[in-house]
């Protein structure tokens, strides 16, 4: 499979024994969904899905963080049309509608778009060290795009509370709420992923593809995304979004946070 040069590579790809393991490998920015990450992930997924030798795709990560969401450095100062979130629906649909099973191995924090990336997968395995949060409202934006893949997975009252509060929640809470399929001790993540890969690869390729299509048929992502994307991009570029992004990067409270004075 093709990949970027070592100087600009943020995703590593390994294909072996019918498994394509795509590893988010940009720990310096907490595996954020930067322009480079989106492009390399899209290209690697497309290639894996087209490769007849690949039966299962695994999304993994290096470093402490699974994925911190959109790259806020790239989101600073841009107009709505220039926000990186505009490319995110295509990536989520690529995973959601893939003819092959996609498994996410979450070993650390997943935030905002990182939660959406995991939610788009067919199976999510999370270690005890994983944590999750819909942090969008706390930086003045809306979890609009990722709602299209999170809401079908999660219990309505759970996703309602967690998207409104932006609270951090652990793997056990994520499993109880439907976001995570298998929550296991950290030292059992590899074995659990391997067992799930074996189970998934035991299915006939065409039967798996058709079963996945059948299971996804009740959710019209393509129909939802235009309005959701417009909402998301508007808030990223808007006054609250830009203030929240600046506050996050400057490690200070946003101006709407009550001070208690």
**Rounded to 5 degrees, what are φ and ψ at 242?**
-65, -35
CA 13/CA 115 separation, integer angstroms = 21
- Per-residue tokens: 254: 């946003």
Decide the pairing of beta strands 131-133 and 109-111.
parallel
Strands of 131-133's sheet, edge to edge? 109-111, 131-133, 169-170
- Per-residue tokens: 259: 């001070």
CA 161/CA 133 separation, integer angstroms = 11
CA 237/CA 77 separation, integer angstroms = 7
136 noted as active-site residue: yes
Q: Cα Rg for the chain, rounded, in angstroms?
A: 18
CA 209/CA 217 separation, integer angstroms = 12
CA 225/CA 86 separation, integer angstroms = 10
Among 47, 74, 136, 240, the one annotated catalytic: 136
Catalytic residues: 136
């Amino acid at each position: 499979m093709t990949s970027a040069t070592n100087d600009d590579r943020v995703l590593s790809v390994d294909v072996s024994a019918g498994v394509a393991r795509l590893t988010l490998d940009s720990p310096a920015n907490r595996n954020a969904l930067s322009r480079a990450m989106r492009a390399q992930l899209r290209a690697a997924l497309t290639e894996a899905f087209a490769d007849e030798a690949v039966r299962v795709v695994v999304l993994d990560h290096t470093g402490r963080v699974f994925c911190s969401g959109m790259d806020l450095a790239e989101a600073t100062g841009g107009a709505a049309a220039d926000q990186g979130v505009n490319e995110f629906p295509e990536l989520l649909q690529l995973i959601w509608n893939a003819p092959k099973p996609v498994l996410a191995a979450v070993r650390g924090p997943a935030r905002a778009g990182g939660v959406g990336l995991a939610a788009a997968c067919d199976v999510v395995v999370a270690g005890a060290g994983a944590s999750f949060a819909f942090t969008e409202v706390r930086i003045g934006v809306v979890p609009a795009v990722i709602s299209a893949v999170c809401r079908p997975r999660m219990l309505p009252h759970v996703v309602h509370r967690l998207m409104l509060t932006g609270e951090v929640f652990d793997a056990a809470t994520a499993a109880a709420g439907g976001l995570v399929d298998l929550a296991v001790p950290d030292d059992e993540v590899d074995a659990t992923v391997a067992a799930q890969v074996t189970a998934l690869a035991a299915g006939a390729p065409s039967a798996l593809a058709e079963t996945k299509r059948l299971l996804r048929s009740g959710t019209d992502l393509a129909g939802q995304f235009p309005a959701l994307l417009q909402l998301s991009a508007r808030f990223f570029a808007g006054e609250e979004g830009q203030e929240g992004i600046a506050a996050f990067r400057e490690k200070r409270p946003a101006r709407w946070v009550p001070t208690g004075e």
